[in-house]
Amino acid sequence: MRRHGPEGFMARLAARDERYNALVQRLGGRARPAAAPSRALRLQVTAREHVADDVVALRLEGDGPLPRWQPGAHVALRLPSGRRRTYSLCGDPLDRAGYRVAVRRLGGGSAELHALRVGTELLVRAPRNGFPFAGEPEVCFVAGGIGLTALLPMVVDAHRLGLRWQLVHVGRSRGSMPFTAELPPGDVELRVGRAGPPLLAHVSPQAAVYLCGPASMLDDVRGQLGGRSLHHERFVPPPVVGGRPFVLELGRSGRRLAVPADRSALDVLLDARPDYPVGCRQGYCGTCTVDGVRVCVERPDGGLLRLGSL
């Protein structure tokens, strides 16, 4: 595991972005802009709206223009209880006056968000993007239920740019699908349930595919794509495959925790400290980074991972 401090990580991240942008431009897409520095914002809930069954949308505003963001970006919210949760931005990137997130009620942090009232203040980390839209000339979006929140700004952007696009949105019922009234006119398929033809049955082989949905949908679409690339964001962290067991040592207490081969350091840390902050659990948002280590996805080369600040 390469760890050379935050400077080394940022240098590797910048180099990766340069390679990504070069590849995307060769394929006819557009380069994504450099990410703005992340900082904490104090925002207020200024509006709340039920947009689907068990889904509420919150508008968050501050005292002035908010940091810019691009389709696919997310923000991390610190809730009144101290919990931290990460949600996709699903508003208009051109609207600098406020951010919008939408949350399906599943319990825990989502239930707390559903209980927020207009006027509540939250600490919000500025947007980050681990799921960028490259703006390829031909694109297909596949959303599973609440997964449309990440894809909606991309769909709107594709329409604005005059790209050839289509959307397949799958939900357990029409009432469970948020923001269907906000979709621009175009090739949109709203499908109740997964029965019927394959999700990509009518998709051009040349189309770039962007997916946000459950693991079963991701596996299904990957199987249909064969070796073609897929841009995706998961609802849940990927399973640990080919891992080796190691020991997690918490430097401040000296406590040692055994991490099995099929679990992450974050999983075991949460067993010991249920209030430990988490975000996307996929290594993108940075919420669970400790001493330069993304404990949700990184594993040590040897048998010991020591976190001195915990």
The reply to whether 203 and 256 lie within a common domain is: no
Q: Could you tell me if residue 86 is inside a domain?
A: yes
Confidence (pLDDT) at 136: 94
Do residues 174 and 105 touch, judged by C-beta distance below 8 A?
Answer: no
Confidence (pLDDT) at 4: 42
Confidence (pLDDT) at 286: 65
Confidence (pLDDT) at 235: 57
Q: Could you tell me if residue 26 is inside a domain?
A: no
Confidence (pLDDT) at 55: 96
Confidence (pLDDT) at 298: 87
Do residues 153 and 131 touch, judged by C-beta distance below 8 A?
Answer: no
Close Cβ partners of 24 (under 8 Å, ≥ 6 residues apart): 30, 31, 32, 134, 136
Among left, alpha and beta (phi > 0; psi -120 to 50; other), residue 199 is: alpha
The reply to whether 154 and 226 lie within a common domain is: yes
What would the two tokens of residue 215 be? 């693991």
The total of structural domains in the chain comes to 3
Confidence (pLDDT) at 16: 46
Q: Could you tell me if residue 100 is inside a domain?
A: yes
Instruction: Tell me which residue range forms the domain holding 187.
Output: 133-234
| Dihedral pair phi/psi, residue 24, rounded to 5° | -60, -40
Close Cβ partners of 85 (under 8 Å, ≥ 6 residues apart): 76, 77, 79, 109, 110, 113, 279
The three-state secondary structure class of 114 is helix
Q: Which CATH number goes with the domain that contains 95? A: 2.40.30.10
Report, as ranges of residue numbers, the positions in the chain whose pLDDT lies below 50. 1-17, 20, 32-37
122-161 pLDDT tens trace: 999 999 998 999 999 999 999 999 999 999 999 999 999 9
